[in-house]
Amino acid sequence: MIRRLGLYIWQLSTWPHFRWSNKALLPVVADARFRHGRFLGTIAAAGLETQQTAQLEAATDDAVATSAIEGESLIPASVRSSIARRLGLPGGVTLQDSQVEGVAEMVLDATREWRMPLTEQRLFGWHHALFPTPQKRRDPIEVGRWRTDAQGPMQVVSAAYRGSKPPRIHFEAPPAVRVPGEMAGFLDWFNTKSAETDGLVRAGIAHLWFVTIHPLDDGNGRIGRAIADKAIAQAEGSGRRFYSLSSAILRRRRSYYEALERVQKGDLDITEWLIWFLECHMEAIGQAERTARKVIAVSRFWADLDAAPTPINERQRKVLAKLVEGWEGPMTTRKWVTICGCSPDTAQRDMADLVARGLLVPTAAGGRSTGYTFEMPGAG
């Protein structure tokens, strides 16, 4: 097909009939499926506590990353607390940050309620969750309804180009008058699963289709990524997510917008976009595998330590907990004293015991100025 110059894909007469090369996608889909299955097998073999920790980490990363892609910063500790409370895990507290609460609600609802159909009401509920309070902005958006283009045509601009630099317009979305009909078609397609389309490919199509329509005044990227997460949860047949697609997209943010821009100016052959999406999914799996190995290693570390013939004391446990979380720099007597509120002599004895257990390794310096490094046994 010869594309007419200057048109976006939604302006083509064959829109939205996407097409792709099965020959080009087959090896990428096979690789993605293999890595996906291997990772889920690893998680399934882990204990319940490890699975809960991995789920908490993935959901936290997803909420923080999907906001960061749009140039919004959330405090990870606050997000983690909100997610933990919603999952019924330790560490959850009641927060007053409506922005954190809204993103957490959307991220978890997209996956945990994967059996529920995607509807206007569902999307508008996510939109209200993202924008729950009166907006302090010159051009307040319409929340919980399709956009009206009252401020002009919807132009998609990446967060990477906001601020002091001139905005870069990646593409223009269909006019508002077309949005209700476009969304009706999209929702009908999404809620009618086809056995002929691989689940991961379907997730890539769903995200692209939604962000092309860009049906809301704001929040389209975050909701579009939640839709992809929902599609993947449907493909997995599980409401538990142990990896973050948004985190992988954040690491590739520039190429993400470039890929979206190229496909918008194409001819409805979305092979390149789907390959990009699948590779991003594999990157998310790879990062999750590394995280899972660490979570499993930490769990085994504490279990082995608790089973030791001679238990460690509370001071040692307190410091080891910090070291396990990724303490920066060597541990010294002075730092130990500050953390535990004990005498230097007590700190020296505590550290000498951990050296004997093989948990601390002294640096070259000697005496009280010696630093000690820690490496998680079995992590790698």
Distances (CA, A) of 361 to 51, 305, 327, 376: 31, 17, 14, 12
Q: How confident is the model at residue 136 (pLDDT cuts 50, 70, 90)?
A: low
User: Which residues contact residue 23 at a Cβ distance below 8 angstroms, ignoring those fewer than 6 apart?
Assistant: none
In SS3 terms, 312-344 reads as: CCHHHHHHHHHHHCCCCCCECHHHHHHHHCCCH
Question: Is residue 99 pLDDT above 80, yes or no?
Answer: yes
- Which class for 252: exposed (0-12), middle (13-18), buried (19 or more C-beta within 10 A)? middle
Q: What is the pLDDT of residues 170-214, one digit of tens each?
A: 899 999 999 999 999 999 999 997 777 899 999 999 999 999 999
Cβ atoms of 249 and 277 within 8 Å: the answer is no
Q: What is the pLDDT of residues 227-248, one digit of tens each?
A: 999 999 999 988 988 999 999 9
Q: Can you give the pLDDT at residue 281?
A: 96
Please state, as a whole number, how many other Cβ atoms lie within 10 Å of the Cβ of residue 333.
21
Whether the ω angle into residue 16 lies within 30 degrees of 0, i.e. cis, is yes
Q: How confident is the model at residue 92 (pLDDT cuts 50, 70, 90)?
A: low
Average pLDDT value for residue range 147-172: 75
Question: Is residue 379 pLDDT above 60, yes or no?
Answer: no
Tokens 């907990």: give the residue: 321
Q: What is the pLDDT of residues 248-262, one digit of tens each?
A: 999 999 999 999 999
CA–CA gap between residue 177 and residue 199 (Å, rounded): 31
CA–CA gap between residue 263 and residue 314 (Å, rounded): 57
Tell me the domains of the chain and their CATH numbers.
9-296 (1.10.3290.10), 311-373 (1.10.10.10)
Tokens 């975050």: give the residue: 222
Q: Can you give the pLDDT at residue 196?
A: 78
Angle between helices 199-213 and 253-264 (to 10 degrees): 80
CA–CA gap between residue 26 and residue 147 (Å, rounded): 38
Average pLDDT value for residue range 312-340: 91
Q: What is the pLDDT of residues 30-74, one digit of tens each?
A: 999 999 888 888 888 887 888 888 899 899 999 999 999 988 999
